[in-house]
Structure 1
Amino acid sequence: MGSWNDFNDAQSNTNLIPKGTLAKVRLTIRPGGFDDPSQGWTGGYATRGSTGAVYLNGEFTVTEGQYARRKIFTLIGLYSPKGPDWANMGRSLVRGMLNSARGISDKDMSAEAQAARRINGFADLDGIEFIARIDIGTDTNGDDKNEIRSAVTPDHRDYAQVMGAAPIPPTPAQAPNFASAAHQTANGAQAPAPHGRPSWAD
């Protein structure tokens, strides 16, 4: 037991999940009520900040293992007035989440894999379960906090062990009309980024 005069050997109270930890998480989107149907942002899921940035306010709950029930709060970028980087990072994270949740290799470019990376709307992401790589960032006060910046796909050697049960591929009810999604993509109807207008659903 340590001295009550010297606290240098006391445990640090950061309570952070170590950087690089792999954990199965469930995403809950905290709705912000901002819609822009021209971008495919419907259902009230998106949030528009005071700077004009638009994002999904993500609450990621660890579902099992050592850190079960721990919550990690991370914003998924949809649009930033400063340029396309934030939206591109958001799109990359969502691609990884879909690959992870639906058991798709990131290198798989088959028609089935491409269909599995399409969504009908943000409702398809609300409740999705996938393997996340836990990171550490800083909050608005400059304090350390856990963040999720990437998902782990079946290409990773530890994917199957962490995922446990086999991933559930999307049912026709979850992704009912791939032709429709492709049509919307072709028309640019779901394009959030200001440059190049990539589709969020593709």
Structure 2
Amino acid sequence: MTKWAVIYSSVTGNTRQIAEAIAQKADDADIFRVQDAPQDLSAYDVVAIGYWLRLGQPDPLTLKYLAGVENAKVVFFQTHGTAPTSEHAITSFARAGYHLGAGCEILGTFGCRGKINPAMLEKRKQAGPDDPHGGPQSEERWRLAATHPDAQDIAAAQDLVERMEHKLVLKARFAAKQAAKLAALQQQRKQE
């Protein structure tokens, strides 16, 4: 059985919804707000860390926490007001990985749209036409974000758990095969 730590930061509730979906799907999971999460994660097989985006990277609380995460198999999940396939969304995963502590392995990622903080949305509505995040050109993006996370996003987040657990099984099989090959090679060398 795979033991999960699901750690999240959420202001509007978007990332919390995804965290709860992941924790519900995992057979054995502990869920924490980032400010309450343990620093010692050695009891967990998978550490899922979720956040909202600020300035194209995880929010400040999560950034601070990431530096202390060491020697863990990590899954990132994020919510944001833009398309999950946008450059903004994709590069933010790289920025999250950059802030991880030593010895971590990133197993996978998940991102979905999420409602924009109402205070931020009002600020964006007042932005001029040169602001890439505001103005009338962004209204469709805001409209789409307001409908997420939806049932499809929740199902996709739960599917992530299955995919990551399957990946762990495949990695363990591969490691066992490699160890067997190495043992056979060492045995052969002893006989020569």
Normalised TM-score (structure 2): 0.25
User: Which has the larger helix fraction?
Assistant: 2
Return the index of the structure with the highest Cα Rg: 2
Q: Relative contact order (C-alpha < 8 Å, sep 6+): which is higher? A: 1
